[in-house]
Amino acid sequence: MSTIDDNAHQIAALTLKRFKQENGRRVMIAIAGAPGSGKSTIAERVVAMLNDGAGLRAALFPMDGYHYDDAVLDEMHRRKFKGAIDTFDVHGLRHMLERLKRNEDDVVAVPVFDRAIEIARAGGRLIPQSVDIIVCEGNYLLASQSPWNRLKPIFDLSVFVDVDEDDLRQRLRERWQNFDLDDAEITRKVEENDLPNGLLVASTSLEPDLRVKNPGTSATFANTHID
């Protein structure tokens, strides 16, 4: 069985290979998967491995910073469905990804989602020009729906984290248990929002360069081969 570290090590190795193929040009990596799939933890481990063992500078860029503000979601009557694909600023995210890939600016400030207050903080993280590799993680990075399908071509390597539905349900419940919610509210959030979002991600994402199972069997290559 693979572990989070096994998955992260494989992704880091492929990322390093891709970086060498690009002769030093900044590369962009996408790690996508359902909420609760473990993609955020894997992405953090990949960044740490690249920084610690590869002699490179890597940075993490979560797509959650592009949540619409709660006030906007209230106007859209979509606040209770926060996290659904239509509650993100996909165009803002795409333009930021393209800007980061061009790497023309000495430093770029990116928004970061603060889970303690459930709001994205503008300029929450700085990514300097000296960063070699950016690992972007998020639910919908490989979504096939327009205009989300314009994101995948930006990435030099794409990864999808698979997780079984029953395991996903349990992970999502555990995430909400730390927020002082009663069981009925946790069930509502999971069954009416988080789990449907996760199943949508799993069923509609474009084929990645690599699939990993978390937890489960070893990673398997998709049809798109890495040269």
Give the tens place of pLDDT for each residue, 90-110.
999 999 999 999 999 999 999
Predicted pLDDT of residue 16: 95
pLDDT tens readout for residues 7-16: 999 999 999 9
**Confidence band for 226, pLDDT divided at 50, 70 and 90:** very low
Which residues lie across from 120 on neighbouring strands?
A: 113
Q: What is the mean pLDDT of residues 122-135?
A: 97
Q: What is the mean pLDDT of residues 196-224?
A: 73
Predicted pLDDT of residue 4: 85
Residue 180 has pLDDT above 80, yes or no: no
The token pair at 186 is 């946790």
Predicted pLDDT of residue 2: 63
- Mean of the per-residue pLDDT values of the chain: 89
**Confidence band for 134, pLDDT divided at 50, 70 and 90:** very high
Q: Does residue 215 have a cis bond before it (omega within 30 degrees)? A: yes
CB 101 within 8 A of CB 28: yes
Cα dihedral 183, 169, 135, 64 in deg (nearest 10): -40
Q: What is the mean pLDDT of residues 118-138?
A: 95
